[in-house]
Amino acid sequence: MPAGTENAESTTSPRVVSQAEAEAEPAAVAAATAQTPEARRLSARKRLELCDAGALERCLDQPECHLNDEALDAAITCVMLPSLSPGVLYVSPINLQVVLNKDFNGHYDRLGEAVRADQVRKDLNIASWLANGERPQMIAVVVHGPDTEYQRWQYGRNGIDALCANDHWSLLCWFRSTGKVYHYDTVPDCNERRAAETVRLLRKYAVLPADVQHVHAPRFVPAQRGGWECGYYVLLFLAMITSMHSEQHLPLAKEQLTNAAGGGDQWSVYLREPESFRRVLRGALCDVQRQALYERSEADQ
């Protein structure tokens, strides 16, 4: 077990709920939404404008459909954004791919040394997540692997589509409370090289502290059963971290995942049956879309 997770804050005894109850409460996806003043500055209408909500909707309407970069970004931006504030810096897989590719091709090396880090931060859209001078308490990165930029370059060189059927998503988190990076991957070691490449890049451009060297990969992370659930687990882990530790962001401890996997609370239902979480997300997205319509009608009056 990686250092730092053993003493992470544990959850209180959960209320046992049925799967039907869990699916009927889409608000549980973003448990802290109503209590976060900073998040309310972005309306539902604005959140929909910031992402490709249609990509998320198409994925959620199909059972056992994996969530791609656009769908994951929309789920976090549209549905979970309020619960990620304050103090959480989210790095989109879409923006991260752009930066990784630019760095691999030497784009940033051609810039002046004084402006490289600022350009990377701009490309990662960090300014929109953190107020001036704010220090993140947690950095959450959606990792799209398993292939590194070098592997993708080799595929292109050989005429092979790099975005092939083995695409896999995982969650990479840095916590100021521990000073460490944790990689939550439901297929052990699958995204290990891509996660390491991401950490090197973020450290290189001072998004992560210079002393971050090792990526901790907890072995107690539940394994996915099929080939489509990884994106849902990414969202689940992020939601669990932000709801369980709303005041001080801490890594997930072993007992939080193992107890949840065998318990009867809402997280247990979702961890055992990601399909139920898909239906909850669909309901939550509908709520955001209805709110956006209301806001639009109010603005037109």
- Residue boundaries of the structural domains of the chain: 25-294
Residues of the chain with pLDDT > 90, as a percent, come to 46
Closest CA relative to residue 74, chosen from 98, 94, 89, 88: 94
Closest CA relative to residue 238, chosen from 91, 133, 135: 91
240-269 mean pLDDT: 73
**Which two three-digit tokens encode residue 130?**
């953190």
pLDDT tens readout for residues 100-138: 999 999 999 999 888 999 999 999 988 766 655 568 889
CATH architecture of the domain formed by 25-294: 3-Layer(aba) Sandwich (3.40)
Tell how far CA 99 is from the center of its chain.
17
pLDDT tens readout for residues 140-163: 999 999 999 988 888 777 666 555
DSSP code at position 250: -
**Which two three-digit tokens encode residue 214?**
């090792």
Cβ-based neighbour number of residue 144 at 10 Å: 23
Q: Are 9 and 259 in contact (CB under 8 A)?
A: no
For 215, list phi and psi in degrees, rounded to 5: -100, 115
- Which has the minimum average pLDDT: 34-43, 86-95, 268-277? 34-43
Cβ-based neighbour number of residue 47 at 10 Å: 21
Distance CA(76)–CA(55), nearest Å, equals: 13
User: What does the CA dihedral 114, 115, 117, 123 come to, rounded to 10 degrees?
Assistant: 180
Q: How far apart are the first and last CA of the chain?
A: 58
Closest CA relative to residue 237, chosen from 177, 182, 179: 182
Torsion region of 206: left, alpha or beta (phi above 0 gives left; psi -120 to 50 gives alpha): left
Closest CA relative to residue 267, chosen from 78, 31, 46: 31
- Which has the minimum average pLDDT: 60-69, 86-95, 248-257, 258-267? 258-267
Residues of the chain with pLDDT > 70, as a percent, come to 76
Q: What is the DSSP string of 35-76?
A: G-GGGGGS-HHHHHHTTTHHHHHHHHTSTT----HHHHHHII
Which distant-in-sequence residues (6+ apart) come within 8 Å of 297 by Cβ? none
Query: Per-residue pLDDT for 29 more than 50?
Result: no
pLDDT tens readout for residues 14-25: 333 344 444 444
Q: What integer best gives the mean pLDDT of the chain?
A: 80
Cβ-based neighbour number of residue 126 at 10 Å: 18
Which distant-in-sequence residues (6+ apart) come within 8 Å of 164 by Cβ? 155
Q: Are 21 and 278 in contact (CB under 8 A)?
A: no
Distance CA(110)–CA(116), nearest Å, equals: 9
Cβ-based neighbour number of residue 206 at 10 Å: 13
